[in-house]
Structure 1
Amino acid sequence: MKKVSLIAFVALSTVIWAQNTEIKKTPEAKNSGDKALLVKSDAAELEAKKKAAAEEKAKLPKPYDPKADAQADINKLIAKAKKEGKNIMIQAGGNWCIWCLRFNQYVQSTPELKNVVDKNYLYYHLNYSPENKNEKIFAEYGNPGDKFGYPVFIVLDKNGKMIHVQQSDVLEQGKGYSLEKVKEFFNQWAPKKS
């Protein structure tokens, strides 16, 4: 009886050992090392993207002024808008925001958009940054950055009345902005000519 038990034990141990050895050869086990490589690869790719974004950001104009007296600036724009019959386009964000800088650059370097903006709007870059959050002004407009992120656009009529808030992600296309969507947005909120 002991011989049979010993033979059964040895046989069972051999089967278990063989199964464990086979498990180590399965794709799942083999891929655990591949997964570690993928994690390292993803981290390297993320670092490369961060570096590319930082380089891009360094080259773009910085239109936001944390030291500006935004309320005084907007009051002057309202007085000017009344005289010129234009609306006011407030692009809220900061120099820290790559999408804010991209949008500014896109509008400034796309003649078709720049013409629509220059004809219909007085444009203002309302700063939101650790140096100056312009909390009172943002609260006056319902804190749209809290809801939509940045950039966010606040459209005022010539009298300074808020007539629209626009999130920016709906204007995006790929790593930039859609000409058709941005142009439609600017045209839609331009002052109505009588």
Structure 2
Amino acid sequence: MKKLILSALLLTVGLSFALPKDNTKSNAATGKVAVEQEKETFSKPYNEEEDADAKLTQLIAKAKKEGKNVFVQAGGNWCIWCLRFNDFVQKDKDIKALVDKNFVYYHLNYTTKNKNAKAFEKYAPEGQKLGYPFFIVINGKGQTTKVIASGDLESGKSYDAAKVKKMFAENTPKK
């Protein structure tokens, strides 16, 4: 009987070493660290102190003068997908050329410290329900012509070039 109990005890101890551990917490922590490290590789295009409503007024005047639309990327330097989109646009030469030709590009900051509520209410009151980033297209008259969610443009941990090009092409100024 002692041998049976001892065998059962050894079997139980052996199995406990062989069973996989719950790594949910450590995987989540590792994921957060990886995202923070990735963020450090990108430029930080959002000005967290800026009065976005005043800046947009200037950019709309510039867009009107140049025959362009204002393309607003709403988000913040805290948002990995916002940083990824900016990096994607800057590095894809075809998309960058399309943007430079047709848009004045602006990064509309949202943080708890500076929510830029006036600009969001004025140009895209429904936009914040979409998640970040989201995009606002404003014509040279200061009218919002489109509010666009970014989720459909994503591919893996980046963006789909064909979908992004199409989105920009569909929102160029109508001449």
Superposition TM-score, scaled by structure 1 size: 0.78
Distance in 2 (CA, whole Å) between partners of 1:34 and 1:166 is 47
Q: Can you list the C-alpha shifts for 1:45-85, whole angstroms capped at 9, x where unaligned?
A: 22221111101101210011111121111111111111111
Q: Which of residues 102, 121, 131 in structure 1 aligns to 2:84?
A: 102
* 1:43-192 → structure 2 map (5 Å cutoff): 43-140=25-122, 141-145=124-128, 147-192=129-174
RMSD value, Cα: 1.8
What's the CA shift for 1:143?
Answer: 3.8
Distance in 2, Cα, partners of 1:149 & 1:34: 39
Runs in 1 of length 4+ with deviation above 3 angstroms? none
**What amino acid sits opposite 1:163 in the alignment?**
T
Q: Secondary structure at the match of 1:163?
A: strand
TM-score for the superposition, normalised by structure 2: 0.86
The offset of 1:98, in angstroms, is: 0.4
Q: Of the two structures, which has the highest relative contact order with CA contacts closer than 8 Å and spacing of 6 or more?
A: 2
Percent sequence identity is 47
Secondary structure, aligned partner of 1:59: coil
> What residue ranges of structure 1 are gaps of 5+ in the alignment?
1-20
Distance 1:143 1:129 in 2: 17
